Amino acid sequence: DGPLTVKELADKMGREVSEIIKKLMFLGVMATINQEIDVDTATIVAEDFGVEVTEVEPAEDPTEIKEIEDAPETLQPRPPVVTIMGHVDHGKTSLLDVIRQTNVTAHEAGGITQHIGAYMVRYKGNKITFLDTPGHEAFTAMRLRGAQSTDIAVLVVAADDGVMPQTIEAINHAKSANVPVLVAINKMDKPGANPDHVKQQLAEHGLLPEEWGGDTIMVPVSAKKRQGIDDLLENILLVAEVMELKANPNRHAQGVVIEAKLDKGRGPVCTVLVQKGTLRVGDTIIAGTAFGKVRAMTNERGEKVKAARPSMPVEVLGLSDVPQAGEIMDAVDDNEARTIAEKRIEKQRVSEMQKTHKVTLDDIFNQI
């Protein structure tokens, strides 16, 4: 299937290398034993020896779901997905709570009690999804598995404390994930608040505020006093608008597992952020080695959801097993799920075995 060396070709055909080299010379190709020859040449040589050549398609990995490229005309605008990051105690949880509450109308009051690891807010006719997971770990875990879950990172920096180690860590995560950063300078209510100092520190780490000629939006807020929250949300929407985030809602769903756990009564429960397509009750899904039929879906308010479109987080019931956070979830044909899952389990088993095997060899070498 790809180019191969003269030796490999000889081995494949059960012939002497010298015979192959002779034949190649006859064809006007001067080749040595380890020289690579292309498929066409190898085919001619093989056929000359009376060996039948079958075209081999590039091997497909049966544990992978084939990625479908969505045509531009199928893409439709989707809400931004935001992760809040920052140093411990700078106010990530407080900010997420305040934002969550801006969305609660009187009639829903007390409605958003479900913690599903993500929630969607409606703000002035727009939607924004917030990942409500312990920031950095989730971000890194998902990226390790190749999932890009976040469109925009909101970096929370306490105005009285300034840039700290995890602030820098967050900046680096966002940078390597190529995710734009919007800064929320929090705790503006505190007597020691010094936003200019924060801006100066951030500038030293490559985030230059807009008002200083850079391109990073920095919004002063106070989660405690609920100040600056509108400004923050409006700026998130502004950044999102420039990004022109889109996805095709009319295809089989693909998403990323945000959180998963085993619930005593309900079995495996996982929160999925739908990224492409529409996830529906009754869909057959697979996430890692877990698979099943979507039995029920609920949003962060505990309301039943029949269909989840791109950027919408939903809690999903019906998987056979608890998938890992960061795993990709695909909606597949009914008969595919189990087969793919079994192949994935087998692949895992083999790679585990190889790991153990290596360890044993190392052990032997260490004893010598």
Interaction site with Mg ion (CB under 5 A): 92-93
**Among all residues, whose Cβ is closest to Mg ion?**
93
Least separation in angstroms between residue 174's CB and Mg ion is 18
In this chain, which of 78, 173, 187, 252 binds ligand GDP, going by CB under 6 A?
A: 187
φ, ψ of residue 264 to 5 degrees: the values are: -55, -45
Which residue, chain included where needed, has tokens 């966002």?
A: 174
Query: What's CA 46's distance to the chain center, in Å?
Result: 45
Q: For ligand GDP, which is the closer residue by CB, 82 or 331?
A: 82
CB of 85 to ligand GDP, least distance (A): 9
| Least distance from ligand GDP to the Cβ atom of residue 173, Å | 15
Residue 223 Cβ, how far from ligand GDP at the closest point, in Å?
4
What is the rounded distance in angstroms from the CA atom of residue 28 to the CA atom of residue 19?
14
Give the number of other Cβ atoms within 10 Å of residue 75's Cβ: 16
Does 107 count as an annotated binding residue? no
- Short-list 211, 147, 202, CA closest to 179: 147
**Nearest-angstrom CA–CA distance, 28 and 234:** 70
Residue 187 annotated in ligand binding: yes
Per CB under 6 A, does 343 bind ligand GDP?
no
Which of these, 354, 340, 314, lies nearest to 118 by C-alpha position? Answer: 314
Would you say 261 is a known binding-site residue? no
Residue with tokens 């959180």: 259
Q: Find the binder of ligand GDP among 23, 78, 90, 276 (CB under 6 A).
A: 90
At closest approach, how far in Å is the CB of 222 from ligand GDP? 4
Q: Is 224 in the site for ligand GDP (CB under 6 A)?
A: yes
74 in a known ligand binding site? no
R_g of the chain, CA atoms, integer Å: 27
- Applying CB under 6 A, the span of 201-209, 218-226, 234-242, 306-314 interacting with ligand GDP comes to 218-226
Residues 6+ apart with CB under 8 A from 127: 79, 120, 121, 311
Residue 363, annotated ligand binder?
no
Q: Phi-psi bin for 30: left (phi > 0), alpha (psi -120 to 50), beta?
A: beta
Helix (H) or strand (E) holding 166: helix 165-176
- Is residue 179 classed as helix, strand or coil in its secondary structure? coil
* Amino acid letter for position 220: P
Q: Which stretch binds ligand GDP (CB under 6 A): 87-95, 241-249, 303-311, 328-336?
A: 87-95
Annotated binding-site residue? 189? yes
Whole-angstrom distance, CA of residue 316 vs CA of residue 328: 14
Cβ closest to Mg ion, residue 132 vs residue 330: 132
Name the minimum Å distance from CB 134 to Mg ion. 7
Residue from the set 5, 43, 93, 126 that interacts with ligand GDP by CB under 6 A: 93
What is the token pair recorded at 132?
Answer: 């409500």
Residue 189 binding ligand GDP, by CB under 6 A: yes
Q: Please give the Cα distance from 2 to 14 (Å, whole number).
A: 19
Interacting stretch for ligand GDP, rule CB under 6 A, among 1-9, 48-56, 220-228, 313-321? Answer: 220-228
Residues that bind ligand GDP (CB under 6 A): 86, 88-94, 186-187, 189-190, 222-224
Please state the residue numbers annotated as binding site for GTP: 86-93, 132-136, 186-189
